[in-house]
Amino acid sequence: MVASKDPAVIMAEWARLTGRPELPPLWSFGYQQSHRTLAGREAILQEAKTFREKKLPCDAMIYLGTGFCPAGWNTNNGEFTFNPKVMPDPKAMFDQLHQDHFKVVLHVAYPTGIRQFKGTVRDSCDSGKRAELQPSCYWDMHRPVLSTGVDGWWPDEGDALDLPSRLVRNRMYWDAYQLDRPNERPYALHRNGAAGMARYASFLWTGDVSSLWATLKNQVPIGINSGLSGIPYWGTDVGGFVPTAEFTGELYVRWFQFGAFCPLFRSHGRVWTLRLPWGWNQGAPTGDVANETRFTIPEAEYHNPAVEPICKKYLELRYRMMPYLYSAVRECTQSGLPVMRSLWLHYPDDPAAVARGDQYLWGRDMLVAPVLEKGAAERRLYLPHGAWYDFWTNEKHDGGREVTRKVDLETIPLYVRAGAILPMGPLRQYTAEKVDGPLDISVYPGANGSFLLYEDDGSSFDYRKGEWMGIQMAWNDARKALTLRLAAGSKMLPPAKRDIRVKMGDASKSAVFDGHNLEVRF
């Protein structure tokens, strides 16, 4: 039992007991596009090319296994041989995807009905006998596939596993991966787990939920409570997995906007072409894809030009906000505080804030209120005590009260608290892209504030050896001064001189940070 009046102490102690979250690779916080039935090599590569041609930021391509769809990456459910009709030369295909700066993630599932984690039904190390709790044997089956250039795994199923076995499975995809790639952070998206899975940097998603407005509404408190339970790396199938009569471009857009403010940002589901940002303006799907729904989607929905530009807007916002997001992820590994936070964590003495389960904090300084009603023209939400700024208009609001925010289809309410320091980078098409341009640092006056900007190489464990950069920022509201200094224990990473642009309202000032203390005044 952990008892404290301070929620931050409770989260820190819970993380200490269950294991502090490990740091996943940076790319795992970019957008991930999932697939079902695959048409073949050319179609797969053309789709990736379309992301780049349309300048829709994306980091990973995820491919489902056969058995869960008519034609997936492998020959059958649970098997580790490539489907020759879809991927006749997987290494060459993955090399091309890597050249286009996409990571490759494969869906894996083992035969069901196993109540303890086994290599397979029969032990892969010794085909003559069954194996009890031998993930090292099961990992051997992954190795030939991994050698083709796979970057991550999507372990499905596992509902029959007992709790210890679930955690063993979580651990296998963290520890065993490092046997083959010792200085590369693993990525695995799991169907199940428990408190403790974060110490293996395991992601969790809510499974095969239905495409319903009520389901979208339920995902918000589920995400909040996952974070409170010590599972910070959480997400949902954007759009819902099982299509229903309610599945429209509007529902997809609202789910996509919510997904942009979830730790895992991934679109997946049946009628999978409608999970592409441009999929709602391509006409009705055909063949196996069309057969994945029992409901008739109105013809007009297949010619909806509004969806793609809205998706692009939120993809770009997600990638520009990556410095803020990745810094919050680093904080999570140190404090146990999730990125997606209940208002209770920072406003425990505010009963109205504690009662809200339909909105949340994104890191310490942003408030997100997803639009969860069909045809909504406004969103009622609560602003905790203190002053808040509308992220879109910069209009200032007093907190401690409910407000009504008018919304159109492309807008969800976002607010930033007074005293916040919000860093945003230049737009990138993938998280590792080298882009010229200043780091924008927006200051929201009305209170003192601080922020630790964290950066590392995004992929290795070298940060454990001191290869990381922290810029400690502090805002003095009375002096209207922002100070920047190199955080203790960190070092400047290339480039040695960083162009920054500090903004406060309509005013902005440019400066260069080179590791020495810097002050910018308004």
Query: What CA–CA distance (Å, rounded) separates 177 from 135?
Result: 12
From the list 148, 69, 147, 144, the residue with the least C-alpha distance to 109 is 69
Instruction: Note whether 7-326 and 436-521 share their fold.
Output: no
As a whole number, mean pLDDT of residues 331-344 equals: 98
* pLDDT score, position 74: 92
pLDDT tens-digit map of 27-73: 999 999 999 888 888 989 999 999 999 999 999 999 999 888 888 99
Q: Which stretch of DSSP H or E encloses residue 43?
A: helix 41-53
- The class that CATH gives domain 340-417 is mainly beta
| High-pLDDT (> 90) share of the chain, % | 81
Please determine, for residue 490, whether its predicted confidence score (pLDDT) is greater than 50: yes
Predicted model pTM:
0.94
CA neighbor of 376 nearest in space, from 217, 206, 236: 217
Q: Which of 189-198, 360-369, 407-416 has the lowest mean pLDDT?
A: 189-198
* Residues 111-120: tens digit of each pLDDT: 544 444 444 4
pLDDT band for position 79 (cuts 50, 70, 90)? confident
77-80 long-range Cβ contacts below 8 angstroms, 24+ apart: 77/109, 77/111, 78/108, 78/109, 78/110, 78/111, 78/120, 80/108, 80/141, 80/142, 80/144, 80/145
* Superfamily of 436-521 according to CATH: Golgi alpha-mannosidase II (2.60.40.1180)
Cβ of 221: how many Cβ atoms within 10 Å? 14
Residue with tokens 């989607």: 297
Is the Cβ–Cβ distance between 97 and 181 less than 8 Å? Answer: no
Greater pLDDT, 298 or 450 = 450
Cβ atoms 36, 28 nearer than 8 A: no
Q: Is the pLDDT of residue 124 over 70?
A: no
Domain boundaries, the chain: 7-326, 340-417, 436-521
Say how far apart CA 411 and CA 417 lie, in whole Å: 19
Instruction: Assess contact for 263 and 339: CB atoms under 8 A.
Output: yes
pLDDT digits (tens, 9 = 90+) for 348-371: 999 999 999 999 999 999 999 999
Residue 291 has pLDDT above 80, yes or no: no
Say whether pLDDT at 393 is over 50. yes
The whole-number pLDDT of residue 134 equals 56
Helix, strand or coil for residue 382? Answer: strand
Instruction: Provide the greatest CA pair distance for the chain.
Output: 75
In CATH, which of 3.40.50.720, 3.30.365.10, 2.40.160.60, 3.20.20.80 is domain 7-326? 3.20.20.80
Sequence-distant (6+) residues with CB within 8 A of 349 are: none
pLDDT band (50, 70, 90) for residue 25: very high
Q: What is the DSSP letter of 300?
A: G
* Alpha helices (H) along 160-304: 163-180, 213-228, 249-259, 287-290
* H or E, element range at 449: strand 449-455
The percent of residues above 70 in pLDDT, for the chain, comes to 94
